[in-house]
Structure 1
């Protein structure tokens, strides 16, 4: 487990602490080299434990949706495996992002998004989002970038409980012990909601329940050697509404359509082992093993899909004066069993180097990866395919002064098709007919990012611009109602601007802004017969912004107000930009007040969607999934020893 340097700052620290924290450096570790983000040769966005505490969020989904630059929304209603997009990759953006927790990869081998609902927000010490970078260290899927989540050993005991309207309730218990030679931490996280929509014909609402536990520990038997382990499990039972027509959505987003809500049961059990040995001042060796069993069951559409993921890494780091080299081998073996067996195996070798002068940081890396697919159906012919791919990256950061730095990064990355892309299901006859789609090409992205970091005692500013040229971007082409094929967009490109700024306005008042302007254009696509050429990729908002204010009320109170807005765009399946109905703008204003009663106890109240906005996900005309469509509230308390 890689712990973030430094400890999380107390939410209710002295009034002057917020001001001084802006001048303190933030550490990033995307290349396995810890450095100040001011010196990083790539674009980064970092969220610390104190940021998480201030937000009042209780789930990773809520935090990323309300506080980050990511475009994140429930996957057709499912908040536990949401669609996540960055830099204009649209509805398949989650396949162009590698998400990891302490090095454990969350990406699936099929078209299901990452199960971020299995991660307790209370365990997270730091979230590091790298933009347009990560292809060397993470390989397949890091075309838009990476989301790296780090946890930290706990010390002491913490008990938290909360409740709200619509049957929202939860409890979090954690305990930990940190000593010179070992540490041990444990967390239990339970959450439940009765649902926000009207009951369906079976009497169920869009209710959900999630139970997660995690144990982690480390041992330092001798100087220079660290052994660590981690294990955990998540059990999730969720229901989400069916799509509404425009008229139904306008009348009441919480109504039911006469059909039963979709129910999904998710389970994940995982464990990890790791070792790190500092041989001498120059050499450090490391090895990691991750093992995960997952299942996904839709009771209305059995059988369950069973997953087994096994990954390993062996790496070495060499450091001499200003030079640091990381080299290693990684494998990720995924298997899905459901009406046969489908496997995807990734094998990768990487070399990443960095050279740091007094004011200049240079980085370069290369990766060679082999991807093998095999499908063994219950009957019929087996299928197999193999790809060998290369990714590489160059970066530079020049510090012009203690406050100002310029950086540039060029990345050549790839994403291979998920196993579902080799099949298509035709529903046009009323019953599903599945057939072999044909092997499609990996997508490749070449991304240039340039930017600047400016940091003073009163603000921390990041500004970057990017341009990405893509070939064979992967998508689903609808050939008719409820029928289509998986194929590639021949040529496309994306570009945009990204702005982050944290400002200390007064000793008691601070603010932040996270803004992105993004364009995603389809240059040429033969399967669309020219109808898609020059059109915008659907599901990509041109503008997205998160605004926040944090006010210290007296000495023991803290008020946090944030507003999230994403501009209107084309519906998810509208590749020719010709649908009558567009994806409407998303808006949510969220308010949290936390008050410390004494050094052990604090209480809080939170209101989400304060202005009662009606939000939804437009898939096509008259197919709208309602999300966060009304005001909700929570009350909670936390005791720490």
Structure 2
């Protein structure tokens, strides 16, 4: 990734202060102590009936990652790549492809959906990494609790309640600089948190024909007030604000990429500037009626403007309003959660208005019988579309999701689980439009079908005092998977497709000073049947999906307060993003980067330094032959200090 340019703030940069390097020889790897909440019912993840992956605040702190995209790309099973914009990158999980995979993942922040109604990926750059308590990744499940778009799974981000003050600053290669401050106050009847951060970079690409580089800057502000007027009642009020600006160059051909990927010789029209503004107001409450019954309600209103700057351009304006209400009943063996979720999304662009509105209701339960846990749930969701310009167009769908699962714990160390899930993805509003290849004007494409999936997960957890291991195999069968035909720029459905694979996670405490970790995924994604191209896609591999991906690393305490980290990230070659016929001359090159860091703690201060892409590997994103966006193509570094009081 373009590490110098992607940075949002250094509060994310406490580098490698390894928590396992304690003064005692006690091990800390106890998977049974880890609680997951992303599926609405809190439980130990070793007893979960679905495949999960968790990353704690300590994991993030030890990572030396500079933002959330950086962390997910280097330390999780989620594939992350950018096609130029460092602040809004693409996500892929379980073989849905780096092109459209993000639309098959629901991303939530404290329960609030971050998915957009158009084809823009979820914006994670406005989430400060040091504000995160944990990242919960639910794979092949989550459609009952989260609905539209959860076919590949869910990434649930939970922020922490901070106490005290954190301050950090750093500088690095290519003009990178960043600073942040966060503070938290907690009293008997209230708690207050505030955060501010800024980062900017001169960019990694050379100047284009207009003398422009890929410079960028970002500013984030956040404040949250919690009030506890009576026992069991919490009232929440919050405000988030983000302002971002990114210049990013266009594609280059393979000859240019091989010679010097930093060059930016594309036509002037290919240089792009992206301006982003968002303001979010949050309001919520939780009430614990008694030991058995509790209720939660959250409402958020977001107004944002997005503009691709060029002569005569105007911003697209978005208005999102979401409400999430749920109630939970917890009996001795049975836990039930019921909820209603409402989302109204509007985009105003030039003279047209487009709406996508979702209304969902769900019920799910968890039943514990000795060493065996059973789960079941169902959801019904109504999706409505409206489009208004010179004509008025409407459409709607009623979609169902369900999930059943079982987990059996054979011993304190070993448990196995199985899960069967049905999910769906309703098309975003841009899927109904395409481009006329003659003059590139926008034309109405047609209302296309929602995608549906059935996924079977089978896995095991094996946990000892020094090692934690998770293994999951899965198979997904899909109908009407959504994609754009590259040759005609028409959005449509793949009639039938399927995906299967194997996922392995392992952390091993070799000694009190040495921790090793690995996250491996083997993925196969196939097109079974598709009418486009007269059957030319039938039996082909879905483009943009690497068969093998691995992140591996070691954390080593060299002295009492100093820790080294080494991380290797590799993904195998794949077909280029638009190569549905698997016939392009050029493939997506294997992604390869090695990163090295050191952190040293002195009282309340942590000094850190990080070198990314140590061996100067040239990485890129292939759309088609000779259309390549350089990604993390050169060595970068940064160093700084962080203080906590």
With normalisation by structure 1, the TM-score equals 0.96
Q: Show CA shifts across 1:395-428 (max 9, x none).
A: 11100000000011110000011100101112x3
Alignment-derived partner of residue 106 in structure 2: 98
Asked if structure 1 preserves the Cα contact closer than 8 Å seen for 2:17 and 2:599, the reply is no
Q: Show CA shifts across 1:524-569 (max 9, x none).
A: 0011211100000000000000001000121110111100000000
CA distance in 2, matches of 1:56, 1:154: 20
Alignment-derived partner of residue 348 in structure 1: 360
Does residue 404 of structure 1 match 2:414? yes
The more displaced of 470-479 and 537-546 is: 470-479
User: Relative to 1, partners in 2 of residues 1:445 and 1:17: Cα closer, same or farther, differing over 3 Å?
Assistant: farther
Alignment-derived partner of residue 62 in structure 1: 70
Asked if structure 2 preserves the Cα contact closer than 8 Å seen for 1:396 and 1:407, the reply is yes
User: Is the partner of 1:117 in helix, strand or coil?
Assistant: coil
CA distance in 2, matches of 1:306, 1:38: 44
- CA-atom RMSD, angstroms? 1.3
Picking from 207, 210, 234, the partner of 2:215 is: 207
Picking from 467, 491, 502, the partner of 1:497 is: 502
Query: How far off is 1:204 after superposition?
Result: 2.0
Picking from 272, 293, 296, the partner of 2:303 is: 293
Query: How far off is 1:31 after superposition?
Result: 2.2
Asked if structure 2 preserves the Cα contact closer than 8 Å seen for 1:136 and 1:392, the reply is yes
User: Relative to 1, partners in 2 of residues 1:277 and 1:109: Cα closer, same or farther, differing over 3 Å?
Assistant: same
Once the two structures are superposed, the pairs formed by residues 401-480 of structure 1 within 5 Å of their partners are: 401-426=411-436, 428-429=437-438, 431-479=439-487
Does residue 177 of structure 1 match 2:185? yes
Q: Show CA shifts across 1:564-593 (max 9, x none).
A: 000000000000000000000001111111
Alignment-derived partner of residue 608 in structure 2: 604
Asked if structure 1 preserves the Cα contact closer than 8 Å seen for 2:17 and 2:62, the reply is no
CA distance in 2, matches of 1:399, 1:246: 52
User: Relative to 1, partners in 2 of residues 1:591 and 1:375: Cα closer, same or farther, differing over 3 Å?
Assistant: same
The answer to which structure, 1 or 2, has the higher relative contact order (CA under 8 A, 6+ apart) is 2
Alignment-derived partner of residue 549 in structure 1: 554
CA distance in 2, matches of 1:234, 1:563: 32
User: Is the partner of 1:81 in helix, strand or coil?
Assistant: coil
Alignment-derived partner of residue 624 in structure 2: 620
Asked if structure 1 preserves the Cα contact closer than 8 Å seen for 2:618 and 2:633, the reply is yes
Alignment-derived partner of residue 543 in structure 2: 538
User: Is the partner of 2:204 in helix, strand or coil?
Assistant: coil
User: Relative to 1, partners in 2 of residues 1:258 and 1:436: Cα closer, same or farther, differing over 3 Å?
Assistant: closer
Does residue 328 of structure 1 match 2:330? no
Gaps of at least 5 residues in structure 2 are: 1-15
Query: How far off is 1:640 after superposition?
Result: 1.3
Once the two structures are superposed, the pairs formed by residues 140-539 of structure 1 within 5 Å of their partners are: 140-260=148-268, 261-300=271-310, 302-339=313-350, 340-377=352-389, 380-426=390-436, 428-429=437-438, 431-479=439-487, 483-539=488-544
Alignment-derived partner of residue 6 in structure 1: none
Alignment-derived partner of residue 8 in structure 2: none
User: Is the partner of 1:163 in helix, strand or coil?
Assistant: strand
User: Is the partner of 1:248 in helix, strand or coil?
Assistant: helix
Q: Show CA shifts across 1:163-214 (max 9, x none).
A: 0010011001011112333211111111111010111122221111010011
Alignment-derived partner of residue 641 in structure 2: 637
CA distance in 1, matches of 2:28, 2:18: 14
User: Is the partner of 1:47 in helix, strand or coil?
Assistant: strand
Does residue 581 of structure 1 match 2:586? yes
Picking from 68, 81, 86, the partner of 1:79 is: 86
User: Relative to 1, partners in 2 of residues 1:23 and 1:446: Cα closer, same or farther, differing over 3 Å?
Assistant: closer
Q: Show CA shifts across 1:58-101 (max 9, x none).
A: 21111111111111101x21121111000000021100000010
User: Relative to 1, partners in 2 of residues 1:309 and 1:366: Cα closer, same or farther, differing over 3 Å?
Assistant: same
Asked if structure 1 preserves the Cα contact closer than 8 Å seen for 2:17 and 2:562, the reply is no
Asked if structure 2 preserves the Cα contact closer than 8 Å seen for 1:198 and 1:256, the reply is yes
Q: Show CA shifts across 1:358-390 (max 9, x none).
A: 21111100000000000011xx21110010011
CA distance in 2, matches of 1:424, 1:494: 27
User: Is the partner of 2:535 in helix, strand or coil?
Assistant: coil
CA distance in 1, matches of 2:369, 2:638: 50
Alignment-derived partner of residue 124 in structure 2: 116
Alignment-derived partner of residue 33 in structure 1: 41
Query: How far off is 1:18 after superposition?
Result: 7.2
User: Is the partner of 1:612 in helix, strand or coil?
Assistant: coil
Query: How far off is 1:10 after superposition?
Result: 7.0
User: Is the partner of 1:233 in helix, strand or coil?
Assistant: strand
Query: How far off is 1:313 after superposition?
Result: 1.5
Asked if structure 2 preserves the Cα contact closer than 8 Å seen for 1:15 and 1:552, the reply is no
Q: Show CA shifts across 1:324-345 (max 9, x none).
A: 1000111111000002100000
With normalisation by structure 2, the TM-score equals 0.95
Picking from 84, 95, 110, the partner of 1:88 is: 95
Alignment-derived partner of residue 5 in structure 1: none
CA distance in 1, matches of 2:302, 2:24: 45
The more displaced of 256-265 and 211-220 is: 256-265
CA distance in 2, matches of 1:327, 1:636: 47
CA distance in 1, matches of 2:536, 2:179: 52
Asked if structure 2 preserves the Cα contact closer than 8 Å seen for 1:16 and 1:508, the reply is no
CA distance in 2, matches of 1:148, 1:193: 29
User: Is the partner of 1:539 in helix, strand or coil?
Assistant: coil
User: Is the partner of 1:64 in helix, strand or coil?
Assistant: helix
User: Relative to 1, partners in 2 of residues 1:585 and 1:250: Cα closer, same or farther, differing over 3 Å?
Assistant: same
